[in-house]
Amino acid sequence: MRRVLIQSPAFIRSAKRFVKKQPGALQSIRQTLIQLQADAFSAGLRTHKLKGDLSGCWSSNAGYDLRIVFQFVRHGGSEAILLLSVGTHDEVY
């Protein structure tokens, strides 16, 4: 199921900050977003629910220590993905 990706202002800020520190990660982020849009539960993404303060959110791997945090939301009558944050494991959790 193809979903629309919605970038939150926080996601845009965190992506710019992360890519500025690690320019090589841009391609991994792009590829992960394409996969998320096509199939959020693809085995390679290791998508999983989060608990605690991030309850209701999901996380996917975009590289060895790179995570994308998002939520499933309704947008225009269909399911969409609201991108919340991107960064290392320690940065996003």
Helix, strand, coil in percent for the chain, rounding step 5? 40, 35, 25
Domains and their CATH numbers in the chain: 4-92 (3.30.2310.20)
> pLDDT digit string (tens) for 29-88?
999 999 999 999 999 999 999 999 999 999 999 988 999 999 999 998 889 999 999 999
Residue with tokens 């992360």: 18
Quote the pLDDT of residue 63: 87
pLDDT at 39: 94
pLDDT, position 72: 96
Residue 40 has a pLDDT of 94
Q: For 45, which DSSP code?
A: G
